[in-house]
Amino acid sequence: MRFRGSKAAGSFCCDKEGSFELLVHCEADSTIHSYAEFNFGSVLSPHEAELFGDIAAYFIRHAVGLFVICVEPSTPRPTRRYRRLRSKADETLARRSIWLFTTTIEDLRRDPYWLNACEIARCAQADLTYADQSRIIDFLALEGQAAIMDCARRCRSSLDSCDAVLRLVSSGILAIDADTPLTTASLVRLQSGAPSGSPLTWL
């Protein structure tokens, strides 16, 4: 099955284990500017890269740097060759100032991050007029932060005003705390500067 993202051109094949979960988090994370599927053949020889052929991995352009996130398969690969080649890929990427992270499906599905990400990703391409976007931004510039519902009340033309607010979270215009369950009372604020704390809290 293929899914179309809002932060990267084209569509994505989510057949690999964990690929869909990665896509959802990338769509939902307001500090991710863009992402693309990562091919280990770009840092390893074709023969070496075959060992990683079924591993879901995305290249992410994040507000604080460049990352490759890959999902460990449910069947562990503790072989010496796998560890050696993963270390080689890590070193090659590090020389390009790209940081390789590994996660698991269990971590990607950890709540409240997962449920929040699903809801925000669902709204990534929601209907939002430029006038409504401007009203929300102007409102938050005065208030500092406000509940999603209060921001939604500024919308006059968008089909679903709460979805429109969450679209601004996905696109990086607004920020929200991801470590609490998402409701219409959740507070949002204008995204400004580099994010504080861990850059990828959902890992």
- Domain harbouring 37, CATH code: 3.40.1350.10
In this prediction, residue 196 carries a pLDDT of 45
Give residue 195's pLDDT band: very low, low, confident or very high (50, 70, 90).
Answer: very low
Greatest distance between any 2 Cα atoms in the chain: 60
Residues 44 and 91 in one domain: yes
Q: Which of 44, 76, 108 is the last residue of a domain?
A: 108
Structural domain including 135 reads: 126-190
pLDDT at 199 over 70: no
Residues 11 and 44 in one domain: yes
Taking the CA atoms of residue 163, residue 119, residue 27 and residue 189 in that order, the dihedral angle to the nearest 10 degrees is 60
Contact between 20 and 3 under an 8 Å Cβ cutoff? The reply is: yes
Residues 130 and 95 in one domain: no
In this prediction, residue 185 carries a pLDDT of 96
Q: Supply the CATH number for residue 178's domain.
A: 1.10.10
C-alpha triplet 76, 82, 88: angle, nearest 5°: 135
Taking the CA atoms of residue 106, residue 196, residue 179 and residue 58 in that order, the dihedral angle to the nearest 10 degrees is -30
Secondary structure element (H or E) that encloses residue 166, with its range: helix 161-170
In this prediction, residue 21 carries a pLDDT of 94
Q: Where are the alpha helices (DSSP H) in 61-102?
A: 80-95
Tell me the pLDDT tens digit for each residue of 72-129: 888 877 789 999 999 999 999 999 999 999 999 999 999 899 999 999 999 988 999 9
C-alpha triplet 193, 103, 196: angle, nearest 5°: 20
Tokens of 97: 């100032």
Contact between 124 and 170 under an 8 Å Cβ cutoff? The reply is: yes
In this prediction, residue 156 carries a pLDDT of 92
Supply the pTM of this predicted model. Answer: 0.82
In this prediction, residue 71 carries a pLDDT of 94
